[in-house]
Structure 1
Amino acid sequence: MMPRDQFLRDVIADLRIAASFVTILPVAPSKPAADGAVARATWALPVAGLAVGLTGALVYAIASRFGLAPNLAALLALAATALVAGALHEDGLADTADGLGGGRTRERKLEIMRDSRIGTYGVCALILSFGLRWSALATIANPWAVALALCAAHTAARAGLPAFMSQVAPARPDGLSASAGSPPSRSVAIAFAVGILALVLALGPGKALVSLILLALSGLMLARLAIRQIGGQTGDILGAFEQTGEILILLVAAAVQIGG
């Protein structure tokens, strides 16, 4: 049985790896991660997402406190979440849209996805992503409800990443996703449980179930598209997965408000 001190050190190390993987927070371990460490630490990705969501919630609350309208507060909250996450997932979404939409062959699609320049498909994807999320937050309006929605969205959208990584093989032998490795089943299960808990606490059981169904369907569609077009997943595909999940959860949260 693992000693308690070692267990706590491993948990802290996993949290630091996960946070450094999806945010710009200066929390990376002082030593390089050992083989398999990143894959094992994927259980903590939704926890890192919670930190991002809390950042956006805090900015929204402060903006509301100073009398800014919900649409302006929502824009500032989105800017804050993108900043603390280094716009990593937005970049992945844009590259995925450019690559899958603009390339004709597998090799060309992968080449486009590695290109740092952004194309028309990427611009359109980012406009839709920010526009839908901004509209959802502005519709929710209430600072406490916005906080719950942001925390649920950023937590649950990342909770599905370990499962996606374990079920869809990397499209190429190098790159961010390939270097991370395939998460073990234990990490997948823990991340999934954290995501479900966040959804239930923020949206209630009924809306949490709707969110889970939508997340599963969008994940299956993206996996099928990625496998057919480029032979698997990449770091950019993972970013698109997170962005899609975030959008869907915020839209469900906004529907909660509309429905009373």
Structure 2
Amino acid sequence: MLSRVRYQVELFLLSLSFFSRIPVPASVPYSTERMNQSGRYFSLVGLLLGLICYGIYSLCALVLPEHLSILLMMGGSLLLTGAFHEDGLTDMADGIGGGMTTERRLVIMKDSRIGTYGAAALIIALLVKYSVLSSLAMHVSMLQILLVGYGLSRAVAASLIYDMPYVSDTQTSKSKPLASRQTARELGILLFFGVIPCIGLDLSILLVIGCVSCLLRFALKQWLLRRIGGFTGDCLGGVQQITELTIYLIFAAIMIPF
């Protein structure tokens, strides 16, 4: 029993090391199989990151206005993840926006340079996140909003691994650990931690977020299948960012008075 618990903890630490810049013990065992399995804790990593970001915001809000506290929190979030998901959004926008064929789109995604589509997507995403979170911070408590945004968005993004083919070069891709499809059990664990922060939400908000998240996942899945025939690690980052922003916009539409 203890060995099973320790194994799951080690998988979580591997997931934490892959999806964030938070240091983990060097003694954590690594293998390709373990790294593949660690994706089940992607949403749990999101909850931890959301909690840390709320701590940053709360500390800053003691001495600074809400909008500056949100800005510093966003900077802290970028440092915590190494802008991992924002980089994915940028590469996805460049590749799918700038390529005329599937092969060309995949080549552009691997290019480290930022193009017009990627720059525009990144700027808009950061501006929308700053504007929406700043508005929300003036009217509601930010803890559950951040936990839902960070946790559920990662569950939606990583769930694409379950029923989509991986189309990047697994020998050279930085997201090689994501190449193997999830089992139903791994998907269940991923969704469990992604849904946990939604507990206690008003029923109307819960229904809207649930329905919109499912529809958004379906739409993005079909779009990616048509454009590149599957997903890449960059696409998961892009889907995570789009879903997170959508969740914040739902909160704003329902909770902020006109």
After TM superposition, the score normalised by the length of structure 2 is 0.92
> Is 1:148 aligned to 2:147, yes or no?
no
Distance 2:162 2:68 in 1: 39
Match of 1:100 in 2: 96
Say if 1:165 and 1:182, in contact at 8 Å, map to a contact too.
yes
Match of 1:214 in 2: 212
Q: Map of 1:27-106 to 2, 5 A cutoff?
A: 27=24, 30=27, 33-66=30-63, 68-106=64-102
Cα gap change, 1:219 to 1:176, in 2 (>3 Å): farther
Unpaired stretches in structure 2, ≥5 consecutive residues: none
Identity %: 31
CA RMSD of aligned residues (A): 1.9
Q: Deviations over 1:164-218 (max 9, x none)?
A: 11111101341244433211111101211222221233x3332122112222222
Distance 1:11 1:32 in 2: 12
Displacement after TM superposition at 1:135 (Å): 1.3
Distance 1:154 1:125 in 2: 19
Say if 2:67 and 2:134, in contact at 8 Å, map to a contact too.
yes
- Which stretch of structure 1 is more off in the superposition, 123-132 or 204-213? 204-213
Q: Map of 1:170-189 to 2, 5 A cutoff?
A: 170-174=166-170, 175-180=173-178, 181-189=180-188
Distance 2:25 2:203 in 1: 35
Displacement after TM superposition at 1:22 (Å): 0.9
> Is 1:8 aligned to 2:5, yes or no?
yes
Q: Deviations over 1:121-150 (max 9, x none)?
A: 111111121111111111111597112211
Cα gap change, 1:143 to 1:116, in 2 (>3 Å): farther
Displacement after TM superposition at 1:60 (Å): 1.1
Displacement after TM superposition at 1:235 (Å): 0.3
Say if 1:60 and 1:143, in contact at 8 Å, map to a contact too.
no
Distance 2:120 2:247 in 1: 20
**Letter of the structure 2 residue corresponding to residue 23 of structure 1:** S
> Is 1:224 aligned to 2:222, yes or no?
yes
Q: Map of 1:105-116 to 2, 5 A cutoff?
A: 105-116=101-112
Q: State the aligned residue count.
A: 255
Distance 1:65 1:142 in 2: 14
Distance 1:214 1:136 in 2: 18
Say if 1:89 and 1:240, in contact at 8 Å, map to a contact too.
yes
Match of 1:26 in 2: 23
> Is 1:138 aligned to 2:134, yes or no?
yes
Q: Deviations over 1:35-55 (max 9, x none)?
A: 432232222111110111112
Cα gap change, 1:79 to 1:16, in 2 (>3 Å): same
Unpaired stretches in structure 1, ≥5 consecutive residues: none
The 3-state SS of whatever aligns with 1:154 is helix
Say if 1:170 and 1:178, in contact at 8 Å, map to a contact too.
no
